Amino acid sequence: MLAPSKYFVGAAVRLSASFTDSDVTPSDPDTVTLKLRSPSCQSFTYVYGTDANVTRQSAGNYAAIVTPNCAGRWFTRWEGTDPDGNVIAIEGNFNVQASRFAGHDCCCRDYR
């Protein structure tokens, strides 16, 4: 069985974020956006309510399923906007390993 933090090219990765109000009570922002940056600096943006892969799990808790297309360190930024227009940001990252089984050219060089 693989460790939960081991990700491979072409395999789904579940990302999540939790938003709270000033009383640390789970709270839904007016807007929720997930931004990804690949190891090659390609950017992806997903918006809750527009993109089906971003879902609300419960009050203040959101998740997204993404499929990395290249090995390396990926960076994430969840943004929520409150009623006053303030942006709440949660940043993170995860590593994606090359796979001998994924048909992605960017990964083949890792096995030569």
First to last CA, the chain: 27
* Domain 7-111: assigned CATH number: 2.60.40.1930
Q: What is the pLDDT of residue 2?
A: 45
Residue predicted with more confidence, 6 or 35: 35
Share of the chain above pLDDT 70, in %: 86
pLDDT tens-digit readout, 36-79: 999 999 999 999 999 999 999 999 999 999 999 999 999 999 99
Question: Residues with Cβ < 8 Å from 104, sequence gap 6 or more?
Answer: 9, 10, 69, 70
Task: Break the chain into its structural domains and give their ranges.
Answer: 7-111
pTM: 0.83
Q: How confident is the model at residue 23 (pLDDT cuts 50, 70, 90)?
A: confident
pLDDT tens-digit readout, 78-102: 999 988 889 999 999 999 998 777 6
Q: How confident is the model at residue 109 (pLDDT cuts 50, 70, 90)?
A: very low
Distances (CA, A) of 92 to 34, 65, 75, 102, 109: 11, 15, 6, 25, 27
